[in-house]
Amino acid sequence: MGAVRIIVLAVAAVAAIGLALMVRNMAAGHRPPPAPVAAPAPVEKPMAQVLVAKRDLPVGTRIASGDVGWQPWPIDALNASFITDGSAPVAAPQPKSAAGKAAKAVETAAAQVISGDPAKALDGAVVREPILSGEPVTERKIVRGGEGGYMAVVLQPGMRAMALPVTVETGAGGFILPGDRVDVLQNKRIEGSGGGSNQDTVSNVIMRNLRVLAIDQTTEPEKNARAVVGATATLEVPAADEAVVAKAKSQGDLVLALRSYADAGGPSGRGVPENTRVRVWRAGQASDSTVAQ
């Protein structure tokens, strides 16, 4: 084989290799781009309906319509102390998984099922600890009528709860209901001016415009109730006047006078001072007169 032939074969081989590389590069240039990898669809978390405060509720607030409402809440962030409507969707989680624990929390909270208007379910409840707007309502932060600590929460600062005996006659015929305002009068018998067995009766207004906290153990009148007959009325008395009420209770009969709603905004506290009998001696003669302290 001559040198010329060897050179020709080498050139042909190099050209074939170059042509093959060129064809491969051209084919790669026309190849369609790889299909994009689809992102996994976001998993929708199951939600529960949780009872939350619609505004800031300070201590002593009596919950009313519009103060609380339902709000969606993720099940994995649910606490067993939250109040739910019991209808949270749970997709059959494994018992030992985190979702399973959340489902157990929902099941526990669902024992406190509330249907319809949540304010009706909390009718008469009073805030025991502050609840911020958007914060879930828990049983620990509220107290209902008849539960321990209710009266201490209902009392305004600087006020005391005192119980007085009442009858139908001394309690305005039973028309005094919790939440009404009353005056407290005292009827006291004193020795008459003629001496002997003669006795006079002195009536004094001991306290004015006191709020009625309860009649017996009834702290909230039933719907459409017009009268509550009981043996004891619990009144909200200023701390500075509790001794006055206690003294009046031991000295005579007490009567509650129902005040009009138009007069409920007046001052609350001590009424007319108690009258005192004074014996005056003039020219050796004694005479009794009544003066106000």
Contact 127, 69 (CB under 8 A): no
Of the ranges 64-68, 98-102, 148-152, 181-185, which one carries the lowest mean pLDDT score?
A: 98-102
Range of the domain at 79: 47-143
Mean pLDDT of 205-226: 85
User: Are residues 135 and 166 both part of a single domain?
Assistant: no
pLDDT of the residue at 43 = 67
User: Are residues 192 and 240 both part of a single domain?
Assistant: yes
Q: Is residue 112 part of a domain?
A: yes
Q: Is residue 148 part of a domain?
A: no
Q: Is residue 69 part of a domain?
A: yes
Of the ranges 21-25, 213-217, 275-279, which one carries the lowest mean pLDDT score?
A: 275-279
Q: In whole numbers, what is the pLDDT of the chain averaged over residues? A: 77
Number of structural domains, the chain? 2
The pTM assigned to this predicted structure is 0.55
102 forms beta bridges with none
pLDDT of the residue at 14 = 76
Residue 280 predicted with pLDDT over 70: no
User: Are residues 139 and 212 both part of a single domain?
Assistant: no
Using the 3D structure, point to which of 112, 143, 174 is the last residue of a domain. 143
For residue 180, give the nearest of 207, 132, 213, 154 by alpha carbon: 213
- CA atoms of 218 and 171, how far apart (whole Å): 15
User: Are residues 110 and 205 both part of a single domain?
Assistant: no
Q: Is residue 4 part of a domain?
A: no
Contact 142, 119 (CB under 8 A): no
Mean pLDDT of 167-186: 91
Amino acid at 203: S
User: Are residues 170 and 271 both part of a single domain?
Assistant: yes
Beta-strand runs (E) in the chain = 47-53, 68-74, 126-127, 142-143, 159-165, 181-191, 199-215, 232-238, 253-258, 269-270, 275-282, 285-292
Using the 3D structure, point to which of 143, 177, 200 is the last residue of a domain. 143
Q: What percent of the chain lies above the pLDDT cut of 70?
A: 70
Q: Tell me the pLDDT band of 87, cut-offs 50, 70 and 90.
A: low
Using the 3D structure, point to which of 119, 143, 167 is the last residue of a domain. 143
User: Are residues 78 and 186 both part of a single domain?
Assistant: no
- CA atoms of 167 and 232, how far apart (whole Å): 8
User: Are residues 273 and 189 both part of a single domain?
Assistant: yes
Q: Give the model confidence (pLDDT) of 121-173 as tens digits.
A: 677 788 888 899 999 988 888 887 666 677 888 888 889 999 999 999 889 88
pLDDT of the residue at 154 = 81
Residue 28 predicted with pLDDT over 70: no
Count other Cβ atoms within 10 Å, centred on residue 266.
Answer: 11
User: Are residues 178 and 276 both part of a single domain?
Assistant: yes
Of these ranges, 116-120, 143-147, 251-255, the one predicted with the greatest mean pLDDT is 251-255
pLDDT of the residue at 93 = 43
